[in-house]
Structure 1
Amino acid sequence: MQNKGLIKLFAILFGLVSLYQLSFTWFTNGVEDKAKTYAESKSNDGKEIAKLEGYYLDSIANKPIIDLGFAKFTYNDIKNKELNLGLDLKGGINAILQVSVKDILIGLSNNSKNPVFNEALAKATEAQKNSDKTFLDLFYNEFEKASNGTVKLSDPSIFGNKSLREKINFKLTDEEVKPIIEDEVTGSINTAFEVLRSRIDKFGVTQPNIQRIGNSGRILIELPGAKDIDRVERLLQSTAELQFWEVYSNQETANFFFAANNVIENFLKEQTKADTTLVKNDNLEDLLGEVSDSLATKKTANLFSVFTPSIPQSEDQISSVIGNAKVSDTAKVNAYLAMKSVRAQLPNEMKYIKFLWDAKPFASTDFTTNENVDRISLYGIKSNREDVAPIEGDVIDDASQEYGQTGKPEVSMTMNAIGSKQWGKMTTENVGKFVAVVLDDYVYTAPRVNTPITTGRTSISGGSMTVSEAQDIANVLKAGKLPAAAHIIQKAIVGPSLGQKAIDSSMSSFGLALLLILLWMIFYYGKAGAIADIALATNLLFIFGILTAFGAVLTLPGIAGIILTIGMSVDANVIIFERIKEELNKGKALKAAISYGFSFKGALSAIVDANITTMLTGIILYVFGTGPVKGFAYTLMVGIATSLFSAVFITRLLIDWYAAKGKKFTFNTNITKNWFTNIDVEFLKKRKIAYIISSIFIIIGLSSLFTKGLNYGVDFVGGRSYVVKFEKPMSATDVSESLKDVFGSAPEVKTYGASNQLKITTKYKIDEEGNHVDNEVQSLLYKGLKKYIPADVTLEAFKPGYGGVKTTGILSSIKVEPTIADDIKTAAGWAILGSLLVIFLYILFRFRKWQYSLGAVAALFHDVLIVIGIFSIFNKILPFDMEIGQSFIAAILTVLGYSINDTVIVFDRIREFANTHTTWKFSKVIDKALSTTLGRTINTSLTTLVVLFAIFLFGGDSIKGFMFALIIGIIVGTYSSLFIASPILYDSVKKLNKKN
């Protein structure tokens, strides 16, 4: 092997970098364990524990955790560099939002009352429930039918209105108006994406994921670790709004804050004397939210204990910032300033003041504790009775990121004619005063107006604004106020107790599977197996190092993908070792046999072909998959790349090093040295029996599919599914009957994992939208299960997202509306067809004969039909979830990858024998190829099955169906490479030769 030194250097550096990346995860876990211990020592309440953990981590966020002398890392630093766990391992929320194109069209039409327009909207809304077309296309179709040529889209009562008059006039035809409307809709959706990303970035979870889903108007958001589910839903579904307001100065509000401070101080003294709580007085129950019921006992003496007012001592200190507070204290400040007795201190001219916080906190030192804390500035907005801003975002024509006179990034804005006039008036009236630009009730800037601005141009700047932030704000402002809200059409909530259980069981199965593989390799290949184990351990280090370095999110299917690549890594070593053994048996010297085994003529050709076909499957899966499926594909692709490097290069380095010592080196043990030798099976003579057996299985499976069907999960049919935990084992039948009374029809109820956990799926009101419907379903579920749960478990504690260890209640929930279910099915179909097409073309390219491609693809069809048929036959018979969802599609595609991997290994040997033994009959070539690779086929299949069985038996309940599909697929895939792919190759070549 050439360039050994370079490869060795690369492997060492890569390993050190991987260890460095993973070290941050180790340190982060240590800090968070301390936070958890601290929180549990202070409280037993679930929500209080979550809060105390947050307070502890906030207090040390900017303290050095690692000090290397030349570099220091705070908790925030190492948190951003840790290995990110997905929703199923860490808990959190996954949501897909749909920006309502219907609402956008209504906004663009200025709430048109035109009957044709509204009829088209109503019919398009109904049609979308059973169609995968975009809402805009459906609207166009329905508008054309309803108008019958009598009304145009450019009609002044529809889109030819004042708001769009610069782009649309009544002379334009419908075909000319459509692209303009499409551009407006696209702009609104882009705005929604930027606004949502800004909100999510402020939410504070590690490595949030937000991405557009094509041009569908849908946005995927994942928030691992998020616990306040209600807050997340409010955050995601509120409408984005840009406003320009006049602002009070700190000079104007100074007296008010002193008066407010006195009122609050006296109020707290009275409360302490009366031994009552702040929350029960002054209508503060809703205002304070989760603020403790006994703030007075926590020594919050007055307003100024949580808020620092800005009191100017001279003219040059007059500012639009009227004070600041710790980010963690903003809820208290809001509650105090909302008290009726406090607002009564406002002078008449300020009675409509609205207090808004800055969009970005700033770092500050708390001199009482000498700790760094995040503080945030407060502004006093000059609102009015209607709370309507003088200027809103619809006046913005254009916005862009530029650099100001100081060289710092800023956002430059251009207004339309109406906006220019309004802006000129506002700035003229406020020379020497302040105006604020507010987005989603956050103040982005509130500068002093030095001179009137009559050109319709202005800018937003800030000392800490980055280029990317300026670009994001410009994108938001460019389209102006969002004319439609985004609503959640799919969400998955995973409670922390389920997440911890999942990660514990998955890690256990992972460790067990790895141990079994390591022991088997040593048992079967002796010293060579030990070397393969070292390469395998290095491969694992590389995989986790890459995932951490690139900020990937590890999920349960991702762990399955990693373990599957371990099996493929073992497969590569098995192929190499078997070829070396063959050469040794032929009488070759050790070094020559090793060199041949690692060469392209030896094992490398088959390894490369097998890995490329699996990699292509992974790419297709990544392109068409969403959420956990995409995560599985990513880890699969990373694992294939690292396993190929470790098996080919690291194993070679270690074997060459050991062989160079001149010691005896065999590739077997005394027990296994004669296994799978001198095998000569006439496989082709058994092909007709195999055809009959396969046909019987396929026919039975298809019959079950047509009569019994499949158990489609909520991914495909829509619905709401809940995993509910009870204190004791429950009867699924009894629970189903109890819930029939509240839902009107009996939901599907299954035991899910432990006997005290049930999976409950209902389609109750699935066509209706809104959080109120979700809350209604959960309330009905609580009502129907009331007799099975302890009396002290409240509805709030029963719902998902409740902190702490859950003994009873909803552990997780999934909601999918039918509109997205159709898209998931379509994407899954394209993924399978795409995989088959890509594999067919690659086999054709590598083997130069279409018969090889036909045999491979026929075997794949065979494997898919049998796996799907088994899932249909045994649905509701086997004691675990056999739903057909996204994870099942991932399993099918993985089976395709593994099966083609096995088939390619066999085909490679057939091609080799065909070129070497030109006098042999083609039937003998195939039988010999299958016989000589049988040892490798059985060895690899059994090793992989041991891994999968370990995960199936000891892994998380949520992937048992996924693992079962893989187990069946590996068994069937191994069978098909021997008895389907190769025989079909033979029969197609034989038939062609007869014709010729």
Structure 2
Amino acid sequence: MQNKGLIKLFAILFGLVSLYQLSFTWFTNGVEDKAKMYAEARSNDGREMADLERVYLDSVANQPIIDLGFAKFSYNDIKDKELNLGLDLKGGINAILQVSVKDILIGLSNESKNPTFNEALAKATEAQKKSDDTFLNLFFNEFEKLSNGEVKLSDPSIFGNKSLREKINFNLTDEEVMPIIENEVTGSVNTAFEVLRSRIDKFGVTQPNIQRIGKSGRILIELPGAKDIDRVKKLLQSTAELQFWEVYSNQETANFFFQANSVIENLLKNEADKKETAADKEDNLDDLLGEVSDSLATKQVNNLFTVLTPSVPQSQNQVSSVIATAKLADTAKVNSYLAMREVRALLSNDMKYAKFLWDSKSFTAKTNTGENTELIYLYGIKSNREDVAPIEGDVIEDASQEYGQTGKPEVSMTMNATGTRQWAKMTTENVGKFVAVVLDDYVHTAPSVNVAITTGRTSISGGSMTVSEAQDIANVLKAGKLPAAAHIIQSEVVGPSLGQKAIDSSMSSFALALLLVLLWMIFYYGKAGAFADIALLVNLLFIFGILTAFGAVLTLPGIAGIILTIGMSVDANVIIFERIKEELNKGKGLKASINHGFSFKGALSAIIDANITTMLTGIILYVFGTGPVKGFAYTLMVGIVTSLFTAIFITRLLIDWYAAKGKLFTFNTSMTKNLFANIDVEFLKKRKIAYIISGAVIILGVASLVTNGLNYGVDFVGGRTYVVKFENPTSASDVANTLKDAFGSAPEVKTYGEASQLKITTKYKIEEEGNHIDDEVQDLLFKGLTSYLPEGLTMDEFKPGFDGDKKAGIMSSIKVEPTIADDIKTAAGWAILGSLLVVFLYILFRFRKWQYSLGAVLAVFHDVLIVLSLFSIFYKILPFDMEIGQSFIAAILTVVGYSLNDTVVIFDRIREFAGIHTSWKFSTVVDKALSSTLGRTINTSLTTLVVLLAIFLFGGDSIKGFMFALIVGVVVGTYSSLFIASPLMYDAINKLDKKKK
């Protein structure tokens, strides 16, 4: 092997870089473990512990964790560089947002005051509470009922306005206007989707999942690893409506507040007197019920200053933009007081359009009694009749988080030319006064203008603004404004879908299986096996190093890709070792045998062909696939590259190093020396039996697919999801088994937030519509969970919407449509078909006969059909869930990759034998080639199966179905390479030869 020095240098550098990249994960885990210990030492409450963890991590966010002398890394730095885990392995935040179609319609109508329009909106809003239909359809139905043909949607006061005049005119009928409005609404929801996706991409979590749910205006969002639910809510629900306003000083508002206090005091006193008089007329029973005490309590809150402290400057130095302070809990009451007609009448002509806005953040301070309480500042905004700000967010060209002159985080904004002119004018006119930067009706800063700002740059700052808050504000400003409000209708911090215990057991079983593979290689190949083990471990180091370096995400499908990679890595070494052994058995010297084994005439041709076909599959799947398909493909492609390098170069370096010492090197042990030696199996004579067996299984499978179907997961067919609260921590697996009898099959059950809260998703009667079906499912759920619920809990208390103190029952309920849209499933299907077509063409190019391509592709179809057939036949029999969902896609792809790899290696041997033994019959060539590769085939299959079986037997229950699919796929893939692919290829060639004769 030439250039050994260069290869050694590259391998060492690559290994060091991989270790360097993975070290960030090590240090990140160390910091987060300390955060957990910090939280556990101070609280036993789950939610409070999460808050304490966040406090600890925020406190060390910018402190050096790694100091290399020439470079320092804080927690935030290393967190960005750690190995990313997907939601199915790490947990995170799952939220469903409802984009307000009502707000979109109001916007399209230019905030119409038409009574028919607004009544239809109100009735549609009410109807939606009891209907699964879309808001838009409900609105159209209500409008049709109310209008009676007298008012049209195209009316200038509704949708026939200036903004839509190019699309809607007064002559259009309602039937003609409806699809136009539907398109406009769809466009607005799509815009909201893109804005939210842009924000999420900048949020800092890895591989977020965002999907539209049908045409409902709902958007599903999954953020792996995210825990700060409040931060996520702010990020997702913020409409990003940025405004710049002039503000009143506390000097200008002081007199108003004193007048308002007096008026409010009189109003409240009169109201309290009326209540007391009315209470005196009631009988003693009312007194016992507390009506009198209520009126007395009302009298205690007797003026504005009870809930608001005005800021009254005693000197010019105390003039400020903060006009008052209130307790955070009292803001709603203050708003109601300041909105009173009698109070608004006190505003002077200069202030008649004033509006009052709160600060974006509260702060903690001690009261007169020494207790800590949350306070918040109030500002007075100089609004106008139209309530339109002088400068709005559309003038912002860029925004970024930076550090101000005091070293504290702030948001720096750059304006376009128009904004620069407007900002210069506003700041020039307000030198010595105050201006406010308002985002979504909250004041983020209201500084004094010292000099005019003509550069078009400004900033949002605050004394307690954190780095993450500054980053989020910058992100939403860059991503743009939502076309309508988006409300989170369901959100929780979710645990991993496998459960932490299942993940731990799966990782332990994976480590055990890997150890068994390493020991088997040593047992079978001796010292050469030990060198192959080193190459395999280096391969895994390279894979995880690359995944970490490029910010890729490791998911359950990705693990499937790594398992396939391990099989291919072992396979490459096995092929090389078997070729070296063949040469040694022929009497050649060790060095010549090693050179031949690693040459293109030896094992290299088969290895490269097998890896290229699998790589082509990965490329097509990555380009056309989505979600789990893309994750699988990426990991697979990385694994192929690293496997080739380690098998061909790392193993060769080690073997050459040992061979150079002149010691005995046999590539086997005393126990395995004669294993698979002199095997001569007539495979082709058994092909008819194989055809009959495969045909019978496929026929049974197709019959089962037609009659029994498949156990499609919620990913494909949707389902009803309930978040159920229990009094005590409850086992998800126990509840799933209990509900299996009620629903006919076990629902998907996950711990949802706290250990005493579960998310239960069932596909029971999902195809049927109607409220009575919903009631039936809730009734079955209630009866199924009776043993876990408190005694005496009624069905009404169990149902969602119960107004009392809910100790247990349904906290939220939603009917979900498929989370994998039709276009995703279609893309996955085309990706698989496209990959098979490319593989067909490549094999045709390499082997020069289309029969080889036909045999390989038909064998893959055979393997997929067998797996599907077995899942259809046994999903009601076997004691674990065999759902067809996103994980199953990854399993099928693994089967395709493994089968192709195995088949191509065998085909390469057949081609080699056909070139060497030209006098043999082709049937003999095929049989001899299959027999000669049998040792390699069994070795590779066994090592892969050991990994899969260990995870299947000792891993989590929730992934048994996934592992079962992989096990079946490996067994069937090995079988088909020997008894389906090669015989089909032989029959096609033999039939063509007979026609020629």
* TM-score interval, normalised by the smaller of the two chains: 0.7 to 0.9
Instruction: Give the Cα separation in 2 of the matches to 1:466 and 1:727.
Output: 37
More displaced 10-residue stretch of structure 1: 837-846 or 880-889: 837-846
CA contact (8 A) 2:722 2:814 kept: yes
Q: Secondary structure at the match of 2:93?
A: strand
Check if 1:9 corresponds to 2:9: yes
Secondary structure of the structure 1 residue equivalent to 2:836 = helix
CA contact (8 A) 1:577 1:597 kept: yes
Q: Deviations 1:229-276 (Å, cap 9, x if unpaired)?
A: 688568646655455544345776899999xxxxxxxxxxxxxxxxxx
**In 1, distance between residues paired with 2:563 and 2:874?**
26
Matched, 1:749 2:753: no
Q: 1:991 to 1:109 in 2, by over 3 A?
A: farther
Distance 1:239 1:711 in 2: 41
* Counterpart in the other structure of 1:832: 832
1:216-255 to 2 correspondence within 5 Å? 221-227=221-227, 232=232, 236=236, 241-249=241-249
Partner of 1:354: 357
Say if 2:384 is the partner of 1:380: no
Give the corresponding residue for 1:555. 555
2:415: which partner in 1?
411
Q: Map 1:687-702; keep pairs closer than 5 Å.
A: 687-702=687-702
Q: Matches of 2:497 and 2:382 in 1, distance apart?
A: 45
Instruction: Tell whether the 8 Å contact from 2:778 to 2:799 is kept in structure 1 after alignment.
Output: yes
Determine whether 1:586 maps to 2:586: yes
Aligned to 2:963: 963
Cα offset, 1:599, TM superposition: 1.7
Gaps of 5+ in 2: 140-150, 259-293, 298-305, 366-373, 406-410, 462-466, 801-807
Q: CA deviation at 1:340?
A: 5.1
Deviation at 1:389, TM superposition (A): 4.2
Distance 1:759 1:158, change over 3 A: closer
The Cα of 1:637 is off from its aligned counterpart by 2.3
Structure 1, residues 400-430: CA drift from partner, whole Å, max 9, x if none? 44999x9986132759xxx999x99999986
Match of residue 569 from structure 2 = 569
What is the percent sequence identity of the aligned residues? 68
Aligned-partner residue type, residue 36 of structure 2: K
- 1:979 and 2:979 aligned: yes
Q: Is the 8 A contact 1:687 1:979 kept in 2?
A: yes
> 1:193·1:219 contact (CA, 8 Å) conserved in 2?
no
Q: Distance in 2 between matches of 1:964 and 1:873?
A: 14
Shift of 1:759: 6.8
CA-to-aligned-CA distance 1:189-242 (integer Å, 9 cap, x gap): 44653356447856xx75463668899999774322344668856864665545
Which whole-Å deviations, capped at 9, do the CAs of 1:710-755 have from their partners, x for residues lacking one? Answer: 1111111111357997469958786466x6xxxxxx464369899x
Matches within 5 A, 1:672-711: 672-711=672-711
Q: Which moved more, 1:874-883 or 1:246-255?
A: 246-255
**Residue 376 of structure 1: CA displacement?**
14
Distance 1:507 1:982 in 2: 37
Q: What are the Cα deviations for residues 551-589 of structure 1, in whole angstroms up to 9, with x where unaligned?
A: 222233333332331121111111111111112222222
Residues 624 and 214 of structure 1: CA distance in aligned 2, closer, same or farther (over 3 Å): farther
1:138-157 correspondence runs (5 A):
none
1:70 is matched with which residue?
A: 70
Structure 1 residue 496: deviation in Å?
Answer: 6.2
Cα distance in 1 between the residues matched to 2:228 and 2:633: 30
> 1:914 offset after TM fit, Å?
2.1
Structure 2 counterpart of 1:25: 25
* Equivalent of residue 390 in structure 1, options 388, 391, 397: 388
Instruction: Identify which range, 611-620 or 530-539, moves more after superposition.
Output: 611-620
Which secondary structure state, in structure 2, belongs to the residue aligned with residue 222 of structure 1?
strand
- Tell whether the 8 Å contact from 1:411 to 1:471 is kept in structure 2 after alignment: no
Cα deviation for residue 181 of structure 1 reads: 10
Residues 881 and 961, structure 2, Cα contact 8 Å, conserved in 1: yes
Contact preservation (8 Å) 2:679, 2:931: yes
Deviates more, 1:521-530 or 1:248-257: 248-257
Matches of 1:918 and 1:492, distance apart in 2: 69
Alignment of 1:905-984 (within 5 A): 905-984=905-984
2:622–2:629: 8 Å Cα contact kept in structure 1? yes
Q: Secondary structure at the match of 1:749?
A: coil
Q: Please tell me the residue identity of whatever aligns with 2:599.
A: S
In 1, Cα distance between the equivalents of 2:236 and 2:412?
31
SS in 2 for 1:663: coil
TM-score norm. by structure 1 comes to 0.73
Establish whether residue 194 from structure 1 lines up as the match of residue 195 from structure 2. Answer: yes
Aligned partners of 1:505, 1:621: CA distance in 2, in Å? Answer: 30
User: Residues of 1 paired with 2:534 and 2:608: CA distance?
Assistant: 21
What is the deviation of 1:695? Answer: 0.6
Deviation at 1:18, TM superposition (A): 1.5
Cα 1:673/1:870, change in 2 over 3 Å: same
Asked if structure 2 preserves the Cα contact closer than 8 Å seen for 1:863 and 1:969, the reply is yes
TM-score by length of 2: 0.73
Aligned to 2:504: 504
Cα 1:33–1:100, aligned 2, differ >3 Å: closer, same or farther? same
Amino acid at match of 1:514: L
Query: What residue number does 1:209 align with?
Result: 208
Count of residue correspondences: 885
Distance 1:528 1:681 in 2: 28
Which digits, 9 at most, give the CA deviation of each residue in 1:523-574, with x for residues without a partner? Answer: 0000000001111111111122122222222233333332331121111111
Separation of aligned partners in 2, 1:484 and 1:570 = 54
Q: Distance in 2 between matches of 1:100 and 1:786?
A: 37
Matches within 5 A, 1:429-508: 433-441=433-441, 476-477=479-480, 482-483=483-484, 485=486, 494-495=494-495, 499-508=499-508
* Counterpart residue number, 1:522: 522
CA RMSD of aligned residues (A): 6.0
Could you list the per-position Cα deviations for residues 135-170 of structure 1 after superposition, in whole angstroms to 9, with x for gaps in the alignment?
Answer: 99xx9xxxxxxxxxxx99999688763125589989
Who is 1:761 aligned against? 762
Tell me the distance in 1 between the aligned counterparts of 2:814 and 2:965: 22
The 1:608–1:452 alpha-carbon spacing in structure 2 relative to 1, beyond 3 Å, is same
User: Which one-letter code corresponds to 2:654 in the other structure?
Assistant: L
Aligned-partner Cα distance in 2 for 1:445–1:717: 49
CA distance in 2, matches of 1:634, 1:960: 24
Residue type of the alignment partner of 1:525: Y
What pairs with 1:202-351 in structure 2 (closer than 5 Å)? Answer: 206-207=205-206, 209=208, 221-227=221-227, 232=232, 236=236, 241-249=241-249, 334-335=328-329
Q: Distance in 2 between matches of 1:753 and 1:958?
A: 10
Whether contact under 8 Å (2:327, 2:376) holds in the other structure is no
In structure 2, the CA distance between the partners of 1:473 and 1:918, relative to structure 1 (3 Å rule), is: same
- The answer as to whether partners of 2:735 and 2:749 remain within 8 angstroms in 1 is no
Cα deviations by residue, 1:471-520 (Å, 9 ceiling, x for unpaired): 9666545xx551464778x9997326964213311220121111011000
Cα 1:809–1:66, aligned 2, differ >3 Å: closer, same or farther? farther
Q: In structure 1, what is the Cα distance between the partners aligned to 2:491 and 2:617? A: 27
Q: Which residue of structure 2 lines up, in the alignment, with residue 616 of structure 1?
A: 616
Equivalent residue number for residue 853 of structure 1: 853
Cα distance in 1 for residues equivalent to 2:733 and 2:687 = 49
| Worse overlay, 811-820 or 892-901 | 811-820
Between structure 1 and structure 2, the one with the greater Rg is 2
Does the Cα contact within 8 Å between 2:211 and 2:221 map onto a contact in 1?
Answer: no
